[in-house]
């Protein structure tokens, strides 16, 4: 935080009186009095010397007593010189003085990261909304939630600190509603369902996430329903109870139906047409206006490539044309289906846990006996998400190896 003398220059000076009969810590009371400010930001104000109690410099643990006068000096948001404003076109669905809702395109990273300090949505927002710097933190000014680089659709950005805090609370408490559309490989067994699986770093590939079965993961819940069945593909609609990194992508791969075009969680390369990334679109966003309280609902139109993908699949379905996947795609589809079956069948799990199923040949034999066309060389290593030579047999000796899916 830039050094500014107490009460000098541009900013806002608030004078408050502590009314409670019992003592309370200064930092906790200020957080309650200024809900538009995050706890971390209040702490920064205190640490910078911008809070006085009865004219004396306050500390976080300073006990407040009835009648104490508290002065809080809030300087304007500091500029972020390392973030450059860039004239990148934005598809604006809604905007007022407090928030902006965008239809994000594929290929646009939301916020800067090491080695990627420009060409992001934040850079575009700084050009569109010059007052954003300083809101919400250093590298993500105004960002309420995020979308993956190649995920398209609705994203809301706050234009003030008060709006940011209130919108983030709506996301955390599920007051805001988010729904997505995706085209997945294969046909789900039912018409709807719920995936509950903690998500954490992949046990081997730390750049990926996976459903994990230990304390390293965070609870994640995804509701899905089939919108349209398209031969060897399906259009699904998702509603999130949580917002973990890559949540829908990981959960789809976990249930054996990875998203079309997702090169991280699906090895299928034979696609109906070239895609810029995964066919995942944030189609719906509902929220309460952070200031007026009015309920706002936004729908983002599908991107052109998503529409073309659906058109191709519908046309092939109508004409009876078969989309012929290559050997690698077939192997992965069969494996995903086998893994999904194993996760639901305790008898199969017990069979695969015996020493008789400690190598790829035995696992493949069990798969074929269960109706899945898999050979030893078709097995996919969940350790790196790629085909492995079947002599890499130690992998199948790992306890419950089928739970290491990416």
CATH of the domain at 215: 3.30.2350.10
Decide if 290 is inside a domain: no
Q: Tokens 């000076």 sit at which residue?
A: 13
Strand pairing partners for 321? none
Phi-psi region of 71 (alpha: psi -120 to 50; beta: other; left: phi over 0): beta
- Look at residues 183, 304, 182, 305 and name the one whose alpha carbon lies nearest to residue 233: 183
The residues, any chain, with a CB within 8 Å of residue 97's CB and separated by 6 or more, are 159, 160
User: How much is the pLDDT for 142?
Assistant: 84
> Does residue 266 share a domain with residue 193?
yes
Q: What percent of the chain has pLDDT over 90?
A: 38
Q: 35 by DSSP, 3-state: which?
A: coil
> Does residue 156 share a domain with residue 84?
yes
Decide the pairing of beta strands 280-288 and 152-158: parallel
pLDDT category at 102 given cuts 50, 70, 90 is very high
Asked whether the whole model's pTM tops 0.75, one would answer: no
Residue 361 a catalytic site member: no
User: How far apart, in Å, do the first and last CA atoms of the chain sit?
Assistant: 40
Decide if 292 is inside a domain: no
Residue 234 clears pLDDT 90, i.e. is over it: yes
The Cα-based distances of 223 to 156, 179, 191 in angstroms read 22, 10, 11
Residue 387 clears pLDDT 50, i.e. is over it: no
Residue range 318-324: average pLDDT? 64
Decide if 2 is inside a domain: no
Q: 283 by DSSP, 3-state: which?
A: strand
Q: How far apart are CA 398 and CA 348, in angstroms?
A: 16
User: How much is the pLDDT for 386?
Assistant: 36
Yes or no: say if 31 and 69 are a contact pair by the CB < 8 Å rule. no
The CATH number covering residue 23 comes to 3.10.290.10
Yes or no: say if 200 and 212 are a contact pair by the CB < 8 Å rule. yes
Yes or no: say if 324 and 269 are a contact pair by the CB < 8 Å rule. no
Phi-psi region of 139 (alpha: psi -120 to 50; beta: other; left: phi over 0): alpha
Question: Is residue 211 within a helix (H) or strand (E), and if so which, with residue range?
Answer: strand 209-211
Among 39, 59, 74, give the residue marking a domain's end: 74
> Does residue 156 share a domain with residue 196?
no
- Give the residue with greater pLDDT, 322 vs 12: 12
> Does residue 86 share a domain with residue 36?
no
> Does residue 199 share a domain with residue 143?
no
> Does residue 305 share a domain with residue 180?
yes
Q: Which of 27, 68, 148, 262 is catalytic?
A: 148
Decide if 5 is inside a domain: no
> Does residue 180 share a domain with residue 301?
yes
> Does residue 113 share a domain with residue 19?
no
Residue 257 clears pLDDT 60, i.e. is over it: yes
User: How much is the pLDDT for 67?
Assistant: 93
> Does residue 332 share a domain with residue 318?
no
Tens digit of each residue's pLDDT (9 = 90 or more) over 113-155? 656 778 899 899 989 988 775 665 555 688 888 899 999 999 9
pLDDT category at 90 given cuts 50, 70, 90 is very high
User: How much is the pLDDT for 390?
Assistant: 34
Q: How many domains does the chain have?
A: 4
The residues, any chain, with a CB within 8 Å of residue 80's CB and separated by 6 or more, are 133, 134, 138, 141
DSSP 78: P
Among 57, 74, 91, give the residue marking a domain's end: 74
Yes or no: say if 288 and 296 are a contact pair by the CB < 8 Å rule. yes
User: How much is the pLDDT for 225?
Assistant: 96
> Does residue 308 share a domain with residue 180?
yes
> Does residue 181 share a domain with residue 168?
no
Residue range 24-47: average pLDDT? 82
> Does residue 141 share a domain with residue 208?
no
DSSP letter for each residue of 215-237: TTSB--EEEEEEEEEETTEEEEE
Decide if 6 is inside a domain: no
User: How much is the pLDDT for 318?
Assistant: 84
Q: How far apart are CA 78 and CA 63, in angstroms?
A: 30
In terms of residue numbers, what domain contains 128? 77-173
User: How much is the pLDDT for 41?
Assistant: 78
User: How much is the pLDDT for 134?
Assistant: 62
pLDDT category at 312 given cuts 50, 70, 90 is very high
Which range has the worst mean pLDDT, 14-23, 177-186, 261-270, 371-380? 371-380
Tens digit of each residue's pLDDT (9 = 90 or more) over 325-347? 555 555 666 777 777 778 777 88
Among 48, 74, 100, give the residue marking a domain's end: 74
């Amino acid at each position: 935080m830039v050094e500014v003398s107490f009460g000098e220059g541009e900013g806002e000076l608030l004078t408050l009186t502590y009314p409670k009969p019992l003592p309370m810590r200064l930092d906790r009371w200020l957080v309650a009095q200024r809900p538009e400010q995050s706890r971390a930001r209040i702490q920064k104000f205190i640490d910078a010397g911008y809070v006085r109690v009865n004219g004396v410099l306050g500390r976080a643990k300073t006990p407040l007593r009835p009648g104490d006068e508290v002065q809080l000096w809030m300087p304007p948001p500091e500029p972020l010189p390392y973030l450059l404003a860039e004239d990148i076109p934005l598809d604006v669905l809604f905007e007022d003085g407090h928030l902006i809702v965008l239809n994000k395109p594929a290929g646009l990273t939301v916020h800067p990261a090491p080695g990627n300090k420009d060409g992001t949505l934040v850079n575009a927002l700084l050009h569109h909304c010059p007052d954003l710097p300083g809101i919400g933190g250093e590298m993500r000014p105004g960002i309420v939630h995020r979308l993956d680089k190649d995920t398209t659709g609705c994203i809301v950005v706050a234009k003030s600190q008060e709006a940011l805090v209130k919108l983030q609370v709506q996301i955390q408490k599920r007051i805001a509603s988010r729904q997505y559309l995706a085209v997945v490989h294969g046909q789900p067994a039912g018409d709807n369902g719920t995936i509950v699986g903690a998500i954490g770093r992949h046990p081997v590939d730390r750049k990926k996430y996976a459903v994990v079965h230990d304390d390293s993961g965070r609870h994640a819940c995804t509701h899905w329903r089939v919108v349209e069945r398209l031969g060897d593909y399906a259009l699904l609609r998702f509603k999130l109870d949580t917002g973990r990194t890559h949540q829908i992508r990981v959960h789809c791969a976990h249930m054996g139906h990875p998203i079309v075009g997702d090169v991280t969680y699906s090895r299928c390369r034979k696609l109906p047409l070239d895609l810029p990334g995964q066919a995942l679109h944030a189609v719906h966003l509902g929220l309460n206006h952070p200031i007026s309280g009015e309920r706002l609902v936004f729908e983002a139109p599908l991107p052109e490539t998503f529409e073309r993908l659906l058109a191709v699949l519908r046309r092939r379905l109508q004409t009876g044309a078969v989309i012929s996947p290559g050997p690698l795609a077939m192997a992965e589809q069969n494996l995903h289906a086998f893994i999904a079956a194993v996760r639901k069948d305790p008898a199969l799990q017990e069979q695969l846990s015996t020493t008789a199923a400690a190598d790829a040949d035995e696992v493949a034999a069990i798969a074929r006996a269960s109706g899945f066309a898999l050979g030893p060389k078709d097995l996919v290593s969940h350790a790196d998400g790629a085909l492995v030579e079947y002599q890499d047999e130690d992998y199948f000796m790992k306890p419950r190896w089928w739970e290491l899916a990416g």
